[in-house]
Amino acid sequence: MDGNGRWAKQRHQPRIFGHKEGAESVRHVLKACAELGVKYLTVYAFSTENWGRPAAEVDFLMKLFSQMIERETNELTKSGVRMRFLGRLHKFSKELQKKMNAAMEKTKANKKITLNVMVNYGGRAEIVDAVNEILGTKGLGAGGRGAGDEEKITEKEFNEHLYTKGMPDPDLLIRTANEMRVSNFLLWQIAYAEIYVTETLWPDFRREQLIMAIEAYQKRERRFGKLV
């Protein structure tokens, strides 16, 4: 969801003004996805690298996450939205973790659409966490592989240890603000995702822009490395 800072700068406002408006874009896009029959929407809200931003901006984002959870959870429940926070959640304050867990618990039975909010997330971190989890379940330590040396890790097994386990890989990756990189986002899962890049800054990305992205996706010929 790139372009919040640039959007605010164009309006001679502080960056946090862009983040606040960007949160409104999430609400609009989520509603549009639900109406269009999209079953999974994954938004990159805060990366493992974002802790390096100015302390005031990070503090504002933490407060914004907290406020959005408090404000939106009941409405999401009524609308059939399942909310999931995925990433290294342990780094957040105990209070924020409690709110995240409560929102996930309250919406867990909803089936209309799943909203994945990636926070303190990085694609490389997710892969490392999956590997360490596999090592732990197999009883393998740093000193060696032990009795199971001959065992091979399959892609299916690896998938079961990702944050996104149980969910399909994304079909479409949308990059706003004309960014031409994947930025450490879902590195494993987007192997065959179609990528759509738009110059639109995230706070200006609403239903109309989403439909344009989906229409562009529908014109693609997906081959998954094969010949048609």
DSSP 87-137: S-GGGS-HHHHHHHHHHHHHHTT--SEEEEEEEEE-HHHHHHHHHHHHHHH
Catalytic residue among 50, 110, 159, 184: 50
If you search the block for the tokens 């989520």, which residue do you land on?
A: 30
Quote the pLDDT of residue 194. 97
Q: What is the mean pLDDT of residues 172-199?
A: 97
Which of 26-30, 108-112, 155-159, 222-226 is predicted least confidently? 222-226
What pLDDT does residue 143 have? Answer: 52
116 counts as catalytic:
no
Contacts of 147 (CB under 8 A, 6+ apart): none
Q: Is the pLDDT of residue 105 over 80?
A: yes
Mean pLDDT within 86-94? 97
How many CB atoms within 10 Å of residue 57? 15
Q: What domains does the chain contain, in order, with CATH numbers?
A: 4-218 (3.40.1180.10)
Whether 132 is catalytic is: no
Question: Would you say residue 121 has pLDDT above 80?
Answer: yes
Q: Kindly report, residue by residue over 126-177, the tens digit of the pLDDT.
A: 999 999 999 988 665 555 555 555 578 899 999 999 999 999 999 999 999 9
Reported as type and span, the H/E element at residue 84 is strand 81-86
Sign of CA dihedral 86, 125, 92, 27: negative
φ, ψ (nearest 5 deg) of residue 218: -65, -20
**Its pTM surpasses 0.85:** yes
Mean pLDDT of 116-126: 98
